[in-house]
Amino acid sequence: MATQTSRPRKPKPLLDAKLRERSIYLLPNLFTTSALFAGFFSIVQAMGGHFESAAVAIFIAMVMDGLDGRVARMTRTQSAFGAEYDSLSDMVSFGVAPSLVVYVWALKPMGKLGWIAAFIYCAGAALRLARFNTKLDESDKRWFQGLPSPAAAALLAGLVWVAHSNGIAGNAVWGGWVHMKWLAWFATVFAGLTMVSNLRYFSGKDFNLRRSVPFVVLLLIVLGIVLVSYSPPEVLFALFVAYGLSGYVDWGMRRLRSNGNAQNV
């Protein structure tokens, strides 16, 4: 009697998931490494007094950081290594680099007040990333808790970029009354504290690129590209200032609605 040949067993899905978590994938980690390099390059340029290049490098790091996670999800190459590597890269590019750039540019002459403000931002970025990693499975995907570290970095880098493109030094007095060092100090402390706040910020993670959109959306995208191309420093800085304030606006509107509902009861 002929014996049946045993077919090779397929690997269990759970085993595949564990192997995937432990794997190191090249494509998404290339983008993460590019973001890390851009953050390191920003620090080097700031130490050399090239503040415009330092600010632009932080924005390039933002683009690379936004691509690595999306590429990993699209190619199904998420891994525990990639998540940890991304967090370390974010700390350098959006924590250490912006604080050092703004410190060298404007805060250094302020002495203790200057480096304390820079440390508040750096510590805020570290705490923000740690809280994000620990609450990754619990949080609502539609919202960020606290200002995201890339947006906080864009606030500081945008301020430096706008000032430098208009020939305004970090120790200058703009318009006869605005001391740039105090403006930089306030922006640094504001960004650092807002990162560790409980304010809600729209994440955009539920946006589906494969979903159909009205024609007006394409027109708005074209208009946005034209505006950014016309004056990148001013437009990008204005966008991230608006985003940084949106959490406070959302908090105020929710408080007004809750007070109105309480009065109607």
Is residue 2, in this structure, part of any structural domain at all? no
Is residue 17, in this structure, part of any structural domain at all? no
Quote the pLDDT of residue 221. Answer: 82
| Domain total in the chain | 1
Please tell me the least confidently modeled range out of 13-27, 82-96, 126-140, 215-229.
13-27
What mean pLDDT comes out for the span 112-125? Answer: 96
Among residues 233, 45, 69, 245, the alpha carbon closest in space to that of 151 is found at: 245
Quote the pLDDT of residue 14. Answer: 47
Is residue 19, in this structure, part of any structural domain at all? no
Dump the DSSP string for 150-191: HHHHHHHHHHHHHHHHTT--TT-EETTTEEHHHHHHHHHHHH
CATH of residue 49 = 1.20.120.1760
pLDDT band (50, 70, 90) for residue 25 = confident
pLDDT band (50, 70, 90) for residue 239 = very high
What mean pLDDT comes out for the span 196-201? Answer: 93
For residue 28, what are the domain limits? 24-255
What mean pLDDT comes out for the span 134-162? Answer: 87
User: Rounded to two decimals, what is the model's pTM?
Assistant: 0.84
What mean pLDDT comes out for the span 27-50? Answer: 94
Handedness of CA 40, 45, 51, 57 (dihedral sign): negative
Is residue 12, in this structure, part of any structural domain at all? no
What is the rounded distance in angstroms from the CA atom of residue 127 to the CA atom of residue 261?
A: 35
The amino acid present at 254, given as its one-letter code, is R
Is residue 16, in this structure, part of any structural domain at all? no
Enter the tokens of residue 178. 């605005």
